[in-house]
Structures are given as structure tokens and as C-alpha cells.
Amino acid sequence: MERHEEVGQLLADPQVLGNSDQFRELSMEYARLQPMAEALAAYRRIEADIAAARELLADPDPGMQAMGTEELARTEQLLAEREALLHQLLIPRDPLDERNIFLEIRAGTGGDEAAIFAGDLLRMYSRYAERQSWQVETVSENQGEHGGYREVICRVVGRGVYSRLKFESGTHRVQRVPQTEAQGRIHTSACTVAILPEMEAIDKIEINPADLRTDTYRSSGAGGQHVNKTDSAVRITHIPTGIVVECQDERSQHKNRARAMSLLQARLLASAQEKQASAQARTRKLQIGSGDRSERIRTYNFPQGRVTDHRINLTLYRLADVMEGDLSELLDALAREYQAEELAEV
């Protein structure tokens, strides 16, 4: 890949080495391109091996032909595998995949049994986190009267947490006989799960000078010997947002401009943080749904020992293992389905 080679050369440039920000960005880009470059190089080597195998097939010696037939079958299989890998690498990577997450579990329909099931889900995810060497930190909890949680929020920290758990958002339905059920009847309860990527704190806003319109005017005052006879007051308009700030406190236009820019920076920062909080709230609302039994993404049926993911029509008859945190088969299947859909769009 030309870009991979270009970035590699740039990383050896003394000017880039002296610029820590540029070096870091190029290093990250090089790391992202590396798997694709390696896979493409391997693909081309296999193509050359196939061409060599076909030459053997054209040899008059039967022994060489047999060797060519065997080699062609082997290399064509390798080529198919490498092609599948290249297709997978072409899928745009979710920039949030490496983020930590906030895991929110809330009891929905089902009263005490829903709260108990919320506790079971937290235990399931915690066990899976242990298998991945992730850390689980409780942020807040509201315990149920008979066990479990009405609501529990945890922060899960580790490598690739969001990439593995991002498909868990939605309503999880449980079918089982509650411990409090004297008649032995199966009850259906539900909990909602929300997987929210931890966003980086916005602490700085880059302002493009081309987005600014600056006007100067004579500041108002009471007059006297110190009356301002120059256009020292400054008004700055941020064109994309329409935010206007002005400053006329200082006699120096330079100082007024600096103060106005500082105020504009603060207002844009507050606006960006407000939008981020609003977006996170919308994401949470979309993910948790109403908690109704009918809005289910997955059903955990204890009498039959099965778990069914309704989005991909996958049923596993190993519910006990799943509840102990063995989620790999479910999560892998969901990831494959997602990749297939993304690849189809590509």
C-alpha cells in the first residue's frame, strides 16, 4: 500500500521526529495500516505461488503435474482465506471500539423478579469481564427489596471493551419460575441494558480563523481625558454557530481581542459539552427502551436451559455457561453478522 510506505518514510523524517504530535498521529496511522499492508503482501505472494503451480501443471512430466495439482489446491485455499481477511480489513473501524464503557442495567417489567434478574445480568457481565482481564467499577446502585437491583451502573475498563459489548444494548427477557412463586408457574420478566462508550472530556476547542468575523468600534464611556478616541473595542462573530462576543473593557484593541477570543473559546466549549451530554442522553434513551417484555433482543429460558438472540436467530442450549460469563459464542456471532452487513455496504 502506497500510503503505508509513505507514512513509514515520514516517520523516519527528522522534522517529523522532532514534532511529537505529528509523530504520534503518524504512528497511529501506520499501526492502523499495518495489518492491511501485511495481508495484501501475503495475498500477492500467494498469487505468485498459484502462477508457479500452474506452470507445473503445464510440465510434460506427470510427477511435476501431480505436484502442481496438489500445490494449486493448497494455494487457492490460502488465497480464499486471505481474500476473506482483506474484505474484513476493508470494513471501516468504529472509532469508539477501544473505549471503556458505562454498563447500565435497569429492572423493567416483572417487579422483584426483574430486579433479581438485573443482578444476574450484572454477575454475568462481571464474570465475562474477569475472563477478559477487564476491571468493573460500580458507579451507582439501587438495590431491589428482595435482591438484585432496580438499577445499577458500572464502568468497565479494559482493551476493546466497547467493541465486544456494544451489541448488548436492549431489552433482555427472562423466563423462569421465581423463588417466590408457590404455584411453580413460569414468569416472564425483563431488564434493559445500555452500553455507553466513555467519551473523552472536551477541554479544548480548535477555532478556525476563517470562521470568524471581527469588527472593531469605538468603546463607549463617560468621556473626560481618558475617553477612547480609537476603535479599540472588539466584536467577534463565530459564523458557524452565530455566537457573538465583544469586549471593550481594555484601552488596547489587542487586549480586547484576546479577552473576546477567550470568552468565545469558553462559550464554544460549553456548547460542545452540552451537545455531547445531549447526545449521550439520546443514546441512552434509544438503548434502554421502555423495558417492556415485547422489546426483547434476547431471551433467557431457564426451564429449557436455552438462550436465544432474536436479532440473529441464534439459540444455544447452554444457558448455565452463559450466565457464568461464557459469552464468547454469542458475541462472536453478533460481531460476524455486523461485519457481514458492513461488508455488504462497502
Q: Is the pTM of this model over 0.85?
A: no
Q: Give the containing element (helix H, strand E) for 117.
A: helix 112-131
- 235 close to 212: Cβ distance less than 8 angstroms: no
Per-residue confidence (pLDDT) for residue 122, from 0 to 100: 97
Predicted confidence at residue 284, as pLDDT, reads 60
What is the residue-wise DSSP string for 134-178?
A: -EEEEEEEEE-TTSSEEEEEEEEESTTHHHHHGGG-EEEEEEE--
Q: What is the DSSP letter of 274?
A: H
Quick one: pLDDT at residue 346?
A: 59
Instruction: Tell me if residue 340 falls in helix, strand or coil.
Output: helix
Q: Give the model's pLDDT for residue 165.
A: 95
Instruction: Give Cα separations from 228 to 245, 258, 279 (angstroms).
Output: 20, 18, 46
Q: What are the pLDDT tens digits along the chain (346 aa)?
A: 677 788 778 878 888 778 877 888 888 778 878 888 888 888 889 888 889 889 888 888 888 888 888 888 898 888 888 887 777 777 777 778 888 889 999 999 888 999 999 999 999 999 999 999 999 998 888 999 989 999 999 999 999 999 999 999 999 999 999 876 667 789 999 999 988 888 776 667 788 999 999 988 876 654 444 444 567 788 899 999 898 888 876 678 888 888 788 778 878 877 886 787 777 666 666 565 554 544 689 999 999 999 999 999 999 999 999 999 999 999 999 988 887 777 676 5
pLDDT at site 222: 45
